[in-house]
Amino acid sequence: MGSLWEETSSLNGFESLHGDRKTDVLIIGGGMAGLLCAYKLHQKGIPYLLVESGNLCGGITKNTSAKISSQHGLIYQKLVSQFGWDTARMYWEANQAALAQYRDICQKIDCDFEEKDSYIYSLTDRKKIENEARVLQKLGAPAEFVQQTALPFPVAGAVKIPQQAQFHPLKWAAAIAGDLHIYQNTTVRELIGMTTITDSGKISAKKIIVATHFPFLNKHGSYFLKLYQHRSYIIALENAPDLNGMYLDETHTGLSFRNYKDLLLVGGGGHRTGKQGGCWQEIRGFAEKYFPKAKEKYAWAAQDCMTLDGVPYIGRYSSRTKDLYVATGFNKWGMTSSMAAASLLCDLIQGKPNPYTEMFSPSRTIFRTQLALNAWEATLGFLAPTTKRCPHLGCALKWNSAEHTWDCPCHGSRFAKNGSKLDNPATGDLNR
């Protein structure tokens, strides 16, 4: 079963690339981040091409919960602790600016854009929620601590931020993509300097943006250590209540909620890719308990790149790659992060200063607790005896019985039972 978004919309077809090309900027990856980079460069009149190995927005974007929010879990107290108040304030401002850009564009197109209040709640830890509300208020955000919500269970507390938003991501993509220079079903096999090798031609570019969800170049940036991937699951229910807001549990294993028209989207069951988790069974059990009259209409899963410190990597691919850029690690918040990424990268491409360059820099310190955990998982994956190995870096694959796939616990590549690639960073199918 496909996601709600892909079942209720369609993107116009785009041709594959044939022959050699030259351009000022090449964007590799046609998800929301790559699409927005193309959109902004197009507006500026900067020559560019976008190539996507599959269909436009046919990867992670079609599986998003499509919340456009600056409230990314309880991130602000973490940012203050790790980086200080100035960085936390800039993170809020960058995401609010992204939200404002969506709001402006959505006034002109039909994509089911709605402003909604956003809530991060805790079932047990009132103190943590109160602290996040205080931090946000000090940053100038219109945050409020509340105890009563429309959720069908009691909470210890929630942080409420008004005038956040939600939309239909593929209707949005279809509305802005029509005039852009996009080539889909065009797989990049190799970069040689600033020349990109595809199956059907070479592309020479002055600058390159890698927006492939998980960066596929291993010799720069150490993204195989700086990122891991996390899966989560969503069901869309008929005959369920309208909660009139967007809700998320503050824990990684908690539940999320939002409505779309007459459907209630319930997410949860999350786990690190390649590990065990609650999957659909967990959220279906919740739905049976709290919404016994509801009927499941859609079910799908999403996969997100998680960074070491909770902040995306946007900017130069590495300190040694002058004209190679990246946007990755959106930590489950790909909508505002994609817009922030496109704005920053468009400035960098033009040589313009941007106040958020340092905050999002992929070359910032990697000495965080998550680094050791990522390295440990990679070591276990390399040493585990199995005949199924990931073609990315050779980690042992794990069978995912809920989705009937082979998943890599090291870096998150996934393969269908027949060996065809489902999720990167692997660039090819599984050798059978």
Cβ atoms of 246 and 258 within 8 Å: the answer is yes
pTM of the model: 0.93
Structure confidence at residue 277 as a pLDDT band (50, 70, 90): confident
Give the model's pLDDT for residue 123: 96
Residue 250 lies in a domain: yes
Query: Same structural domain for residues 282 and 410?
Result: no
Query: Same structural domain for residues 232 and 296?
Result: yes
197 to 57, 186, 223: CA distances (angstroms): 22, 10, 21
Residue 88 lies in a domain: no
Give the model's pLDDT for residue 382: 63
Residue 105 lies in a domain: no
Q: What is the mean pLDDT of residues 226-245?
A: 95
243 pLDDT higher than 90? yes
Query: Same structural domain for residues 159 and 238?
Result: yes
Which tens digit of pLDDT belongs to each residue from 127-177? 999 999 999 999 999 999 999 999 999 999 999 999 999 999 999 999 999
Give the model's pLDDT for residue 378: 66
- The rounded percent of the chain whose pLDDT value lies above 70 is 97
Structure confidence at residue 426 as a pLDDT band (50, 70, 90): confident
Structure confidence at residue 410 as a pLDDT band (50, 70, 90): confident
In 3D, which of 171, 173, 200, 206 has the Cα closest to residue 188? 200
Give the model's pLDDT for residue 418: 82
Last residue of a domain, one of 337, 360, 383: 360
Which residues is 96 bridged to in the sheet? none
- Domain hosting 133: range is 113-165+227-307
Residue 50 lies in a domain: yes
Tallying the residues shown for the chain, one arrives at 432
411 or 203, which is more confident: 203
Amino acid making up residue 136: L
Structure confidence at residue 36 as a pLDDT band (50, 70, 90): very high
Query: Same structural domain for residues 184 and 41?
Result: yes
Give the CATH number for residue 22.
Answer: 3.50.50.60
Query: Same structural domain for residues 282 and 380?
Result: no
Residue 96 lies in a domain: no
Query: Same structural domain for residues 264 and 287?
Result: yes
Residue 131 lies in a domain: yes
Give the CATH number for residue 124.
Answer: 3.30.9.10
Query: Same structural domain for residues 151 and 48?
Result: no
Query: Same structural domain for residues 150 and 216?
Result: no
Query: Same structural domain for residues 240 and 193?
Result: no
* Tally of structural domains, the chain: 3
Query: Same structural domain for residues 233 and 289?
Result: yes
Average pLDDT of the chain to the nearest whole number: 93
- The rounded percent of the chain whose pLDDT value lies above 90 is 76
Residue 86 lies in a domain: no
Give the model's pLDDT for residue 383: 64
Query: Same structural domain for residues 211 and 254?
Result: no
Query: Same structural domain for residues 258 and 318?
Result: no
Cβ atoms of 317 and 220 within 8 Å: the answer is yes
Give the model's pLDDT for residue 401: 81
109 pLDDT higher than 70? yes
Residue 244 lies in a domain: yes
